[in-house]
Amino acid sequence: MLEIASQSVIIHGNSLTLEEVVQVARYHRNVDIGEDSCRKVNHTRKYVEKLLQEKKVVYGLTTGFGKFSDTYISQEDTKALQLNLIRSHCCGIGAPFPEEVVRAILLLRINALSLGYSGIRLEVIWLMVEMLNRNVVPVVPEKGSLGASGDLAPLSHMVLVMLGEGEACYRGVRMPGGQALAKAGLAPIVLEAKEGLALINGTQVMTAVGALACWDALKLADWADCTAALSCEALRAVKDAFDPATHIVRPHRGQRQAADNIRNLTSGSRLMTRQGELRVQDAYSLRCAPQVHGASRDALAYIAEKLVIEINSATDNPLIFADEEKVISGGNFHGQPVALPMDHLSISAAELANIAERRIERMVNPHLNEGLPPFLTKNGGLQSGFMIAQYAAAAVVSENKSLAHPASVDSIPSSGNQEDHVSMGTIGARKAKQIVDNAYAVLAVELLCGAQAVDFRNPQLLGQGTKWLYDRCREQISFVDADRVLSGDFAAIAGWMKEPGVLDELFALVPFHTYKN
């Protein structure tokens, strides 16, 4: 459930939730910085200024970057160093990220910097807050990050707008970055020592893409249980497979949740059958839905946990510990803690679509669909019905299988072999997002096939939860009485599934396990 709050999200650096990320990124909830974070940021910046006055050799403050880390930079050149860093690192390739992703990137960078370990001035963070609140959205190319020295290239494009350069969207119009700031009543900044590096050395791009994709995937898991339940009734499945006794003796949490959901949704059904009534047992795509869906549910809960940790972490380099008066060059920018969960997310979402496509096939195939009309049409031969709908679902599922190849097993050395192992986490996150979107399309096809099949049975025989689902589906899309273009129907249902709060009424009607933020 997603409730869009009217009050601002208060940033402390260590308490941001997935739900808040979605609210700010997609629904433009405002952001503010907590007083505790303001104090920490100011305290650390004072220590940075002390180091500069003492002319200490500190990576990123008085040295070059990457392979140039041994090159000393004088205090007089620190501003030029930071500007050159941003300009030279703007090497993004490809189409820009959607605005919601860039808004999430801004939010996560604000949150990480607000922990007070980066040495940046508070006014720089405030500019990012105001850009979010006034909806100045930098144009950030989606390709070009190795995901190990942070998301250097895409984050640089974000920062370029803060300097009055680059491009940004303001009120939906793309324009030069300085013009966008001016229209929003904001002024560009001049970066001082450490600030350019602090702004781009982090995992916020892969984490932003991953957070939105994971949130959508968590909702996808709920929809998968719903569409599976309707398919079970359409195919007159054996309800014994969802008996709690089976799932208690193999107590994976997600499996129990999925079995409970399907059982509760179909409660009261007169279409479900008992063991031996029509057949002894069903095909795996019906009988094993709790086990398959449940494995994805457990994986998604793990992925969400890792993302929340990453969202609330300091991920740049060097990190400044002002109280201890020390600066540590480490590796918190490395994306491996996100890269592996992103590959897991890809597989988990792909499998929800994979098993759904098999249920689609059973509903349209006259040899498997328990007496339903071939391809769910009244006039087979003259009409094709849902024949090619299954083709389309199969094509998307096959595409997902290619996309699900892990990105994190690859590594290409960079920066003169100084950065000799990289995560490819941003590539993994982008692929995961595409797979999740594809999976919604497959579930949309399954839902419409299920509703069409039930129309040939009798919708009044449905269980309490599946009847609600059928009724809401039919409010969106009518019965396919004669062949028509279906692609728009599938897109409409997939979009409806992604709307916030669509399932809240169902959750109030029947017991249902959903993700708790």
pLDDT digits (tens, 9 = 90+) for 226-268: 999 999 999 999 999 999 999 999 999 999 999 999 999 999 9
Rounded CA gap, 49 and 159, in Å?
22
User: What is residue 296's predicted lDDT score, i.e. its pLDDT?
Assistant: 98
Question: DSSP character for 238?
Answer: B
Instruction: Looking at the structure, tell me whether residues 463 and 430 fall in a common domain.
Output: yes
User: What is residue 73's predicted lDDT score, i.e. its pLDDT?
Assistant: 67
59 neighbors 318 (Cβ within 8 angstroms):
yes
Range of the domain at 65: 9-202
Look at the chain and report how many structural domains it folds into: 2
Rounded CA gap, 458 and 145, in Å?
53
Instruction: Looking at the structure, tell me whether residues 232 and 381 fall in a common domain.
Output: yes
Question: DSSP character for 460?
Answer: G
Residue 321 Rama label (left phi>0; alpha psi -120 to 50; beta): beta
Instruction: Looking at the structure, tell me whether residues 193 and 229 fall in a common domain.
Output: no
User: What is residue 86's predicted lDDT score, i.e. its pLDDT?
Assistant: 94
At 456-486, the pLDDT tens digits run: 999 999 999 999 999 999 999 999 999 999 9
- φ, ψ of residue 394 in degrees (nearest 5): -65, -40
Q: Is the model's pLDDT at 72 over the cut of 70? A: no
- Is 328 within the bounds of a domain? no
At 266-322, the pLDDT tens digits run: 999 999 999 999 999 999 999 999 999 999 999 999 999 999 999 999 999 899 999
pLDDT-derived band of residue 139, with 50, 70 and 90 as boundaries? very high
> Which residue, 148, 174, 202, sits at the end of a domain?
202
- Is 187 within the bounds of a domain? yes
Instruction: Looking at the structure, tell me whether residues 434 and 357 fall in a common domain.
Output: yes
User: What is residue 414's predicted lDDT score, i.e. its pLDDT?
Assistant: 74
57 neighbors 72 (Cβ within 8 angstroms):
yes
- Is 239 within the bounds of a domain? yes
199 neighbors 327 (Cβ within 8 angstroms):
no
User: CA dihedral in degrees (283, 284, 288, 293; nearest 10)?
Assistant: -120
**How many other C-beta atoms are found inside a 10 Å radius of the C-beta of residue 117?**
25
Average pLDDT in the 354-367 region?
A: 98
Between 5 and 309, the higher pLDDT residue: 309
Pairing of strands 141-143, 173-176: unpaired
Tell me whether residue 436 is exposed, middle or buried, using C-beta atoms within 10 angstroms of its C-beta: 0 to 12, 13 to 18, 19 or more. Answer: buried
The percentage of the chain sitting over the pLDDT mark of 90, rounded to a whole number, equals 84
Predicted TM-score (pTM) of this structure? 0.95
Instruction: Looking at the structure, tell me whether residues 230 and 169 fall in a common domain.
Output: no
- Is 457 within the bounds of a domain? yes
Average pLDDT in the 53-75 region?
A: 70
Q: Is the model's pLDDT at 63 over the cut of 90? A: no
At 197-216, the pLDDT tens digits run: 899 999 999 999 999 999 99
User: What is residue 54's predicted lDDT score, i.e. its pLDDT?
Assistant: 81
Instruction: Looking at the structure, tell me whether residues 160 and 47 fall in a common domain.
Output: yes
> Which residue, 136, 169, 202, sits at the end of a domain?
202
pLDDT-derived band of residue 396, with 50, 70 and 90 as boundaries? very high
Question: DSSP character for 174?
Answer: E
User: What is residue 273's predicted lDDT score, i.e. its pLDDT?
Assistant: 97
Instruction: Looking at the structure, tell me whether residues 303 and 279 fall in a common domain.
Output: yes
At 401-415, the pLDDT tens digits run: 999 999 888 877 777
At 83-131, the pLDDT tens digits run: 998 999 999 999 999 999 999 999 999 999 999 999 999 999 999 999 9
Length of the chain in terms of residues written? 517
User: What is residue 272's predicted lDDT score, i.e. its pLDDT?
Assistant: 98
User: For residue 228, what is the domain's CATH number?
Assistant: 1.20.200.10
Q: What is the mean pLDDT of the chain?
A: 94
Q: Which residues contact 320 (CB under 8 A, 6 or more apart)?
A: 44, 47, 48, 117, 118, 119, 194, 327
User: What is residue 184's predicted lDDT score, i.e. its pLDDT?
Assistant: 98
Task: Kindly state the greatest CA–CA separation across the chain.
Answer: 85
Instruction: Looking at the structure, tell me whether residues 439 and 496 fall in a common domain.
Output: yes
Average pLDDT in the 430-446 region?
A: 98
Residues belonging to the active site? 59
